[in-house]
Chains A and B, each alone.
Chain A
Amino acid sequence: MDTSRSYLEPSSFSKKLAATIIIIYTVITLIPISWMVMTSFKNVNSAISYPPEVLFEPSLEGYVNLFTNRSRQSQEYLDSLPAPETWYEELVRSREMVITGPSKFLGRYSNSMIIGFGSTFASVFLGALAAYAFSRFRVPLKDDLLFFILSTRMFPPIAVAVPIFIMYRKLGLGDTHLGMIILYTVVNLSLAVWLLKGFMDEIPKEYEEAAMIDGYSRLQAFFKVVLPQAMTGIAATAIFCMIFSWNEYAFAVLLTQFNAQTAPPFIPTIIGEGGLDWPAIGAGTTLFLLPVMIFTIILRKHLLRGITFGAVRK
């Protein structure tokens, strides 16, 4: 029997085994997410029915409740109102309620966007500059500085919550977008510097030297030649930073209330009449999931594409 096979090419059995394990893992991981998405399309009653309904009539009630504030009214009052003008008013009326205004969700959601993308951009931008400097120049005390940067992540960030709370109050940064962007950037920066330095070290310095000889300043060479080469690292770093600042809960609860409150502390406060409004919470978390998912999918091609392949002979 011929038992010889390539070391590079796994056998068809191990490929099948790997595929099976991945499929099982994917299914397990997707169950809570699909549960969440399903809940968001149920109505208040079917969301809590037991045994749980897998097949149900989809409803947008969760999303309507998420975006509106409502108040319960008597049947006489509802009858005295003119006929509802929109489908969502009709939906709310059928629950013996009227819409009193838009909810805070959209504002919280856009706060999350501003703070999430803002701090991700700042972390990656500052991180790339610092990583480049550490990678290319003779920085005095380089190793000590790098260790100091790393050491800022040696304790959980929330351990310094109290001093930060006091500092932010004195500086007037509490409950502001800028304050939250600064805070998340500070937390993410050490990760960004270390991750990106690794990628920068891999880029031969000949590239920017060539660009500088071609008439570009070092900064121009950095933007035109080094950054495109570091795209893989930048994409990976951006995803990590985005996930952290998008999900962050503890500081958001502590430091924001009105102006700059992000979605994570807001979503659990969606409480309906007589109990938690599960479809609305499902709708909120589903919408909350989307940006990070889209962001990751967009950047994924940079993670996979070996753009520096073959450009330099080694």
Chain B
Amino acid sequence: MSKIKIVNLQKSFGDFTAVKNSNLTINDKEFFVLLGPSGCGKTTTLRMIAGLELPTSGEIYLGDEEVGMLRASERDIAFVFQLFALYPHMNVKNNLSFPLKMQGYSRSEIKTRVEEAAKLLRIDHILNSNISSLSGGDRQRVALGRALVRRPKAFLMDEPLGTLDAEFRELMCLELKKLHMDIGATTVYVTHDQLEAMSLADRIAVMDGGEILQADEPSVIYNKPATKFVASFIGSPGMNFISIDQGISNEQSTLNIEGTNFNIPKQYEISKGKKNSFGIRPENLSLTNEDGLKGSVFGVEYLGSRKIVTVKTNFGEIKVKTDISTSVKINENVQVKPSNDNIIIFDGETDKSLKSEFMN
């Protein structure tokens, strides 16, 4: 197992830059998730680490070795494809032993390793089956098994659960997590599903437009997003943004919006311009009758244990996660107020969050 480091990595396809000047360090034995919407460059980054694409510029280190321009076969990594890519003309056992045959292991060693992986993934009873007779879950397990038998330096996974049904995906998510704890392999996992990312990752890198916006632990990504995009992409529903037409100064700790003063965490940074955003997550807002932003109820969604109330204000729709006991009617006039200091100011020019007492 190895740590993976990418330095100033860039990839262009003609005029289109898929990955812009990216830097990342993935620690040994870490479960690292690349998260972002489709077309953000996460798969391209993964494919460059695998050697399936060659970088336009930059370096990739696997352990201490620079592998950027090496062929995929020379990198000693395993890749799990979204579409599994199991060899249809071979049965399960041959699929599992295919990578080992190339590396010249003895028959008995191959047999031992295949059986070991099969046992771990609970597919030992289907070793002689044809790929076409397997269920989606079993195919996924075989694909994982084919990666496991090699004992590679790192596992790369490209949305491996993307094609499974929701119910099954949850189960496989748990299995993956357990598998990772059992074997402790460095894993890079690509997904566009934030729930998958949150539940699997030791650390997450959020990507958009070919750039890595933030790479950190899930709780930090969620609570202290580095940019407006991260804040809106993570969380369901995403963060609320209220546009404010005023600059932020150092040490500022209140903000006047529509005549009402709101306490904000003490700011440590001066905003670049006069147009900024006030960001707050739905669960940090509450509905009141006074001292808040005025609006009217636009919609109410029941989530079982919580309710999401959408309030129409002069600043657009604001979503509030409330207690199930809250009862409001559509078109009822309400006010929205932060219930704690979990507030982030985003600089209007850079879209980055400003440093504050909360964000430090």
Contact = CB atoms under 8 A, between A and B. Distances in A.
Interface stretch (B69-77, B218-226, B343-351): B69-77
B83 A215 contact: no
A209 B81 contact: yes
Interface in A275-302: none
Interface in B223-247: none
A213 B153 CA distance: 12
A28 to B, nearest CB: 39
Nearest to B104: A215
Contacts of B52: 209, 212-213
A35 interface: no
B132 A309 contact: yes
Given A213-B51, A215-B102, A206 B89 contact: no
B61 interface: no
A214 interface: yes
A213 B78 contact: yes
A228 B73 CA distance: 20
A214 to B, nearest CB: 4
B273 to A, nearest CB: 44
A307 interface: yes
A213 B50 contact: yes
A21 to B, nearest CB: 33
A310 interface: yes
A229 B88 contact: yes
Interface in A231-251: 231
Contacts of B83: 204, 206, 312-314
B79 interface: yes
Contact of A312 (B75, B78, B79, B84): B84
B88 A209 contact: no
A209 B86 CA distance: 11
Given A211-B98, A212-B72, A204 B88 contact: no
Interface residues of A, number: 26
| Interface hub of B72, B77, B79 (most chain A Cβ within 10 A) | B72
A312 B85 contact: yes
A215 B139 CA distance: 21
Given A228-B89, A310-B88, A215 B81 contact: no
Given A209-B79, A217-B73, A313 B85 contact: no
A311 B131 contact: yes
Contacts of B81: 206, 209-210
Nearest to B136: A313
B73 A213 contact: yes
Interface in B115-135: 131-133
A228 B99 CA distance: 17
Contact of B102 (A216, A311, A314): A216
B72 A229 contact: no
B139 A214 contact: no
Nearest to B133: A310
B263 interface: no
Interface in B26-67: 50-52
A186 interface: no
A73 interface: no
Interface string B145-166: 0100010000000000001000
A99 interface: no
Nearest to B149: A214
Interface in B302-353: none
A89 B84 CA distance: 67
Contact of B88 (A212, A216, A308, A314): A308
Contacts of A214: 73, 98-99, 102, 146, 150
Given A206-B83, A213-B51, A215-B102, A309 B88 contact: yes
B268 interface: no
Given A213-B72, A213-B78, A214-B102, A313 B163 contact: yes
A12 B65 CA distance: 68
Contacts of A309: 88, 132
A56 interface: no
Contact of B89 (A204, A215, A307, A312): A307
Nearest to A207: B85
A36 B88 CA distance: 44
A204 to B, nearest CB: 6
A211 B102 CA distance: 10
B298 interface: no
Contacts of B150: 214-215
A210 B139 contact: no
A225 interface: yes
A166 B71 CA distance: 48
Given A209-B72, A212-B71, A313-B163, 15 more contacts: A206-B81, A206-B83, A206-B85, A207-B87, A209-B79, A210-B81, A210-B87, A213-B75, A214-B99, A214-B146, A224-B98, A225-B87, A229-B88, A313-B84, A313-B136
21 contacts: A206-B83, A207-B85, A207-B87, A209-B52, A209-B79, A210-B85, A210-B146, A212-B73, A213-B72, A213-B75, A213-B77, A215-B73, A215-B150, A216-B73, A228-B87, A228-B89, A307-B88, A310-B133, A312-B86, A313-B139, A314-B83
Interface of A: 204, 206-207, 209-217, 220, 224-225, 228-229, 231, 307-314
Q: Which 3 interchain pairs have the tightest Cβ spacing? A: A311-B88, A310-B132, A214-B99
Interface of B: 50-52, 71-73, 75, 77-79, 81, 83-89, 98-99, 102-103, 131-133, 136, 139, 146, 150, 163
